[in-house]
A and B are shown apart, each in its own frame.
Chain A
Amino acid sequence: MKPEESATTGADLLVKALIDEEVEVVFGYPGGAVLPIYDSIFKQNQLRHILVRHEQAAVHAAEGYARSTGKVGVVLVTSGPGATNAVTGLTDALMDSVPIVCLTGQVPTHLIGNDAFQEADTTGITRPCTKHNYLVKSVAVLARTVHEAFYVARSGRPGPVVIDLPKDVLMNKHDYVAPTKPVEHKSYKPITKPDRALLHQAVELMAKAKRPVFYVGGGVVNSGPKASQLLTQLVRMTGFPITNTLMGLGSYPASDSQFLGMLGMHGTYEANLAMYHCDVLINIGARFDDRITGKLAEFSPKSTKIHIDIDPSSINKNVRVDLPIVGDARRALKGLIDIWQKKQPKLDLKAQKAWWAQIDGWRQRKCLAYKQGAEIIKPQYALERLYHHIKDREHYITTEVGQHQMWAAQFLKFEKPNHWMTSGGLGTMGYGFPAAMGVQIAHPDALVIDVAGEASIMMNIQELSTVAQYRLPVKIFILNNQYMGMVRQWQELLHGGRYSESYMESLPDFVRLAEAFGAVGLRCHEPAKLDDTIKEMIEIRKPVVVDVAVDKAENCFPMIPSGAAHYDMLLGPDDRAAKPVSEEGMVLV
């Protein structure tokens, strides 16, 4: 046989390489440049393709899939508009460290740079919104590039990787040789093993602490379920309080008495005050984001700071720390536990007791309290009831972005990692519904709920068609206040109540909209009927859209106004007159 006859096409070779990477599902949308790949997918049945209705949704679905399984999410889109539509999803995955491999079609190599039909400079456009990207110019390096891309996406701090595939590369032939050993990269070798001496220093600092607090982020979730187990073990061994970032929720069981809730702009009073007053701060896998720190000059001013992170560029970026430790969270936690057990440090128990008494005092402020009347449903109440009905079932929560997202973070309890997917860094409205599809594909029997707002859900509403096609029983739980709620809240607090363009005119009838797509629509106006509506939603084994009419004027509290310090929290509607927002704060987002 001539070599040409024995060889496979680039497209077939790509599919083989994906299968060797243990890819089971690809989220995508076809087009001219990727037709050879779709042909290869057609001819096999190991790799499942999920057809979305918009490329942005393909990336978010892959993110939901990746974050609920710990695997790499895979996306396949065509050249030009296919690739540019994926950009928001890629940026989202970069900000939230989600491992994604996104295959984009490209015009044939000889046409690149000629402004060909559906040509875009995909590697140029995606360079700043990916961890790395590749333009494959020859079929000879295609397989190697695919395996390297998976390695880059999943190792170190995970992130999205784009592989741009010119059509001629997909049609040319070359033999496929499966990798015999794990792919290594000649320059990209992230540090995962923390320095043991530094871990010893960390234990010493922790042992001497009088007012310690753990501040834990998404890095622990990304490090795998074992890391969350180790975290729980360490926190219980020490008896220290712990707070989670938005991305870290689920890394420590929310029902535990040592858990202070989420911290940051809409975090709890007790978590934020513990951050302000602590003397030793142990940051594991969080990045001192501006939504966490508030006013930097007054961020945790009295503490010695330990920061464990796999990404050296996260350390000393916003906040100077005293003990930086580069490494994987799981390995660092394992090391800390080993050293702690060997040393059996004598803690200052009297100081610890006083610290907890102080924290319990802050807890007595009941910062998440709200008043539910008989007439109008409060969004917080809707979420509390939702949690009551789902807590004993295996469930996954995704959200869109805005007030409902913050209320979900405050009122739903996350006991396990990988069960909470939300767009934290980029704050992408339209994330939650496609992410929920990805979660449901990975966990067909689980209850998957997208907690949404009526504005956000409109951003990727076309995916109702996808859930109908694949019979994905995703639940969309809309807290409908007829406003872009967070925009409205800021306009009320910062812009004199001038609600510029934040009212959602001409909303669809969500019940009939759901029905038009073959889903079930439910509506609820009254507090008294809420429980029945939620129960009905859970029982229906089909996609369900629930339109819950909630209080239009409700604001999300507590709130640290932008530019303010942790002790400067607004606890409720009566609190705000006393604390006007500074001019410095006005310019911040």
Chain B
Amino acid sequence: MSNRELASSHTISVLVDNEPGILARVVGLFSGRGYNIESLTVAETDAAENLSRITIVTAGTPMVIEQIKAQLDRLVPVHKVHDLTMEGPHIERELALIKVKSTGEKRVEALRLADVFRAKVIDAKTDSFVFEVTGNSDKVDTFISLMAALGLVDVGRTGIVAMTRGGEAL
């Protein structure tokens, strides 16, 4: 029954108490129960209330996704679990830092493409750049693959942060 249903990707936003071990609880739940983590982002979002937001991109059949949300929700320090993929339109963004080492025409082309992708140069040497690019994951992927031919050295990505559209709080 369940294995005939198709797996799909979901972006889940989890509001948690910012306390030691909370990330280990969430990650341990995923590894212990055999769920996937495609992307994970976590940082404190409300210092006064001591809250952090964890944004997880995971994939599974509808039954597995329902189970993941229920399992997250029953962790004691978890306040809210929202499946952004199910709850109407939302926006996703990712930031990447990309180091490229090249000279001559390749260096010029890298800078030109960076301009097309609205990537910023945040560090420069005579033979290298570090670009900062933000956007959805497709855009970041595309930019990185273009840089591969132009002297790509290192990539650092934040993973996805996401939010619903419109004025309502989660």
How far does the alpha carbon of A294 sit from the alpha carbon of B17 in the complex, in Å?
40
Interface string of A276-299 (1 = CB under 8 A from B): 000000000000000000001100
Interchain nearest-CB distance for B16 vs A (Å): 8
How far does the alpha carbon of A311 sit from the alpha carbon of B70 in the complex, in Å?
9
Is A317 positioned at the interface, with any CB of B under 8 Å from its CB?
A: yes
Is A361 positioned at the interface, with any CB of B under 8 Å from its CB?
A: no
Task: State which of A124-132, A176-184, A580-588 sits at the interface with chain B.
Answer: A124-132
Q: Are B21 and A311 in contact (CB under 8 A)?
A: no
Is B153 positioned at the interface, with any CB of A under 8 Å from its CB?
A: no
Is A185 positioned at the interface, with any CB of B under 8 Å from its CB?
A: yes
Interface string of A96-135 (1 = CB under 8 A from B): 0000000000000000000000000001100110011001
Q: Are A187 and B78 in contact (CB under 8 A)?
A: yes
How far does the alpha carbon of A303 sit from the alpha carbon of B77 in the complex, in Å?
37
Q: Are A320 and B70 in contact (CB under 8 A)?
A: no
Q: Are A187 and B77 in contact (CB under 8 A)?
A: yes
Q: Are A315 and B24 in contact (CB under 8 A)?
A: no
How far does the alpha carbon of A313 sit from the alpha carbon of B32 in the complex, in Å?
15
Nearest opposing residue in chain B for A129, CB measure: B32
Chain B interface size band reads 20 to 34
Question: Which of these, A152, A316, A320, contacts B76 with CB under 8 Å?
Answer: A152
Contacts of B77 in A (CB 8 A): 132, 187-188
On whether A128 and B76 interact (CB within 8 A), knowing A123-B21, A297-B1, the answer reads: no
Is A312 positioned at the interface, with any CB of B under 8 Å from its CB?
A: yes
Contacts of B76 in A (CB 8 A): 131-132, 152, 185, 187-188
Contacts of A124 in B (CB 8 A): 21, 24
Chain A interface size band reads 20 to 34
Contacts of A123 in B (CB 8 A): 21
Q: Are A316 and B66 in contact (CB under 8 A)?
A: yes
Q: Are A187 and B79 in contact (CB under 8 A)?
A: yes
Question: Which of these, B1, B21, B73, contacts A312 with CB under 8 Å?
Answer: B73
How far does the alpha carbon of A128 sit from the alpha carbon of B75 in the complex, in Å?
11
Q: Are A315 and B70 in contact (CB under 8 A)?
A: yes
| CB neighbors of A among B94-153 (8 A) | none
On whether A296 and B71 interact (CB within 8 A), knowing A124-B24, A128-B28, A320-B63, the answer reads: no
Nearest opposing residue in chain A for B72, CB measure: A313
Contacts of A132 in B (CB 8 A): 75-77
Nearest opposing residue in chain A for B79, CB measure: A187
Contacts of B28 in A (CB 8 A): 127-128
On whether A313 and B21 interact (CB within 8 A), knowing A128-B32, A187-B76, A320-B1, the answer reads: no
How far does the alpha carbon of A127 sit from the alpha carbon of B71 in the complex, in Å?
14
Is B90 positioned at the interface, with any CB of A under 8 Å from its CB?
A: no
On whether A127 and B70 interact (CB within 8 A), knowing A187-B78, A320-B63, the answer reads: no
On whether A135 and B32 interact (CB within 8 A), knowing A127-B25, A313-B74, the answer reads: no
Nearest opposing residue in chain A for B68, CB measure: A313
Is B67 positioned at the interface, with any CB of A under 8 Å from its CB?
A: yes
Nearest opposing residue in chain B for A317, CB measure: B67
Interchain nearest-CB distance for B86 vs A (Å): 15
Contacts of B2 in A (CB 8 A): 320
Is B20 positioned at the interface, with any CB of A under 8 Å from its CB?
A: yes
How far does the alpha carbon of A131 sit from the alpha carbon of B25 in the complex, in Å?
11
Contacts of A128 in B (CB 8 A): 28, 32
Contacts of A317 in B (CB 8 A): 67, 70
Q: Are B70 and A187 in contact (CB under 8 A)?
A: no
On whether A313 and B71 interact (CB within 8 A), knowing A127-B28, A187-B79, the answer reads: yes
Contacts of A131 in B (CB 8 A): 76
Nearest opposing residue in chain B for A133, CB measure: B21
Q: Are A312 and B74 in contact (CB under 8 A)?
A: yes
Contacts of A156 in B (CB 8 A): 74
Q: Are B74 and A311 in contact (CB under 8 A)?
A: yes
Q: Which of A157, A311, A312 has the most CB atoms of chain B within a 10 A radius of its CB?
A: A312
How far does the alpha carbon of A294 sit from the alpha carbon of B63 in the complex, in Å?
19
Q: Are B70 and A313 in contact (CB under 8 A)?
A: yes
Interface string of A141-177 (1 = CB under 8 A from B): 0000000000010001100000000000000000000
Interchain nearest-CB distance for B167 vs A (Å): 25
How far does the alpha carbon of A124 sit from the alpha carbon of B66 in the complex, in Å?
27
Contacts of A313 in B (CB 8 A): 67, 70-71, 73-74
List the 10 closest A-B pairs by CB distance, nearest first: A313-B70, A132-B76, A187-B79, A188-B76, A312-B70, A313-B71, A128-B32, A313-B74, A128-B28, A317-B67
Task: Give A contacts to B, CB under 8 Å.
Answer: 123-124, 127-128, 131-132, 135, 152, 156-157, 185-188, 296-297, 311-313, 315-317, 320
Task: Give B contacts to A, CB under 8 Å.
Answer: 1-2, 16-17, 20-21, 24-25, 28, 32, 63, 66-67, 70-71, 73-79
25 contacts between A and B (CB under 8 A): A123-B21, A124-B21, A127-B21, A127-B28, A131-B76, A132-B75, A132-B76, A135-B21, A157-B74, A186-B17, A186-B79, A187-B17, A187-B79, A188-B76, A297-B1, A311-B74, A312-B70, A313-B67, A313-B71, A313-B73, A316-B63, A316-B66, A316-B67, A320-B1, A320-B63
